[in-house]
Structure 1
Amino acid sequence: MSASERPYIVFGYGSLIWKPPPQVVARTPGYLKGYVRRFAQKSHDHRGTPENPGRVVTLIHSEDWDAFSGSDPFPHDDVVWGVAYTINPLYESEVREYLDYREKDGYTLEQVDVFGLENGIEKILVHKAFCYVGRNDNPSFLGSEPTEALAERIWRSVGPSGPNKDYLYHLAEAVRELAPESYDSHLFALEARCKELDQKTEGNN
């Protein structure tokens, strides 16, 4: 790779955090600014079916979310943590194909700046990492749903990649490990409600 060529770096904020792409040569945890992470995207192919789609996360620009979310009870000062993966340049085309297929259900490539703290000072760690975002004009985008109904949908849904609630639990655990001091109130509220449903079911057995 010549000095003028940029490395292929992908930012993961959902399942890529705990199930990274192949051929990773560097891993940089960091966070985004100006976005919220919401379970606002239908999943027909991984955590649900075409008849009963599950729910997975997408990124939305904060101002866009304000415009169509109604009364979102969750604060915008929550931080979207994730991981920027640098891909071995020898395998860039194969990894791009793999990710395009994996994220085919309504996701579009955008570029984002990934931030972090160095010696207590905020700075951009990665400029313009590629990121798969479910924009609000794609057919799989749902927008805001009441937390209770959303949690029940996640709790009940199952797809080829397994139960939808496992996706939620893995993501919550991964975010806590990435940034124990951070808080994602939307994510953790859904996790708490699904675990309540687990306990109710166990209590009835």
Structure 2
Amino acid sequence: MTVHEKPYIVFGYGSLIFKPPPHVIKQVPGYLKGYVRRFAQKSHDHRGTPEKPGRVVTLVHKEDWDGFSGSDPFPDEDVVWGVAYTINPLYESEVRDYLDYREKDGYTIEEIDVWGVEDGREAVVAPKAFTYVGLPNNPSFIGSEPIDQLAEHIWKSVGPSGPNKDYLYELTTAVRRLAPESHDSHLYALETRCRKLDAERGEQ
């Protein structure tokens, strides 16, 4: 098994935050600049089915999102909080294969810098990390949907990994816990709407 000199670091911004990859030897909360996190990706294999796909998050470059999102209710947010995981080099190949399979529904790999705060100053805490992104040209990308319609869809969808709303709730809770300043208005607004549906219609 080949061991590379450069550490293999993966940035998780979705389910990887609350369900980390195996063989992690270090994890650091941090954020990306110039991206937004949106429920803009169909999920045929985890939080929905091929016939009734759910919705999961992807990263979108801020300038790309501005171009096709129309009336995005959170236009000023361009920082995405998540976790940078350093993988044990002995298991790099195994973890790459695991993540490639787990993120197979339309995701591709991008190399990014993860930012954070060190000694009271903003700094890159994980340079040249890898992350999985559902680019706008992938077949599972659905783009921007009205937030009330999106919340309704998430609330109703279920897949092999469980209810779509549970994915939303776990992710929102995990993001809140990352750091005192971590936030995501898109996630919080969807959570509020889905909790309201729970109260009005009963949890399913």
Common fold: TM-score over 0.5: yes
| Cross-structure match for 2:165 | 165
TM alignment of 1:87-98, pairs within 5 A = 87-98=87-98
TM alignment of 1:92-111, pairs within 5 A = 92-111=92-111
Contact 2:11 2:82 in 1 (8 A): yes
Q: SS at 1:168's partner residue?
A: helix
| Cross-structure match for 1:117 | 117
Query: Which has the larger displacement, 171-180 or 68-77?
Result: 68-77
TM alignment of 1:14-25, pairs within 5 A = 14-25=14-25
User: Does residue 44 of structure 2 align to residue 52 of structure 1?
Assistant: no
Query: Cα distance, 1:37 vs. partner?
Result: 0.3
Looking at structure 1, the residues matched to 49 and 126 of structure 2 have their Cα atoms a distance apart, in angstroms, of 35
TM alignment of 1:5-154, pairs within 5 A = 5-77=5-77, 79-154=79-154
Q: Which runs of 5+ in 2 are unaligned?
A: none
Contact 1:54 1:164 in 2 (8 A): yes
Q: Which runs of 5+ in 1 are unaligned?
A: none
Q: SS at 1:80's partner residue?
A: strand
Contact 1:37 1:80 in 2 (8 A): yes
Instruction: Name the aligned partner's letter for residue 180 of structure 1.
Output: P
Q: SS at 1:186's partner residue?
A: helix
Contact 1:78 1:182 in 2 (8 A): no
Q: SS at 1:17's partner residue?
A: helix
The one-character-per-residue Cα deviations of 1:148-199 (angstroms, maximum 9, x if unpaired) are 0000000000000000000000000000000232321111000000000000
The normalised TM-score by structure 1 is 0.95
Q: Superposition RMSD on alpha carbons, in Å? A: 1.7
Instruction: Name the aligned partner's letter for residue 60 of structure 2.
Output: I
Query: Cα distance, 1:44 vs. partner?
Result: 0.1
| Cross-structure match for 2:191 | 191
Q: SS at 2:18's partner residue?
A: coil
The normalised TM-score by structure 2 is 0.95
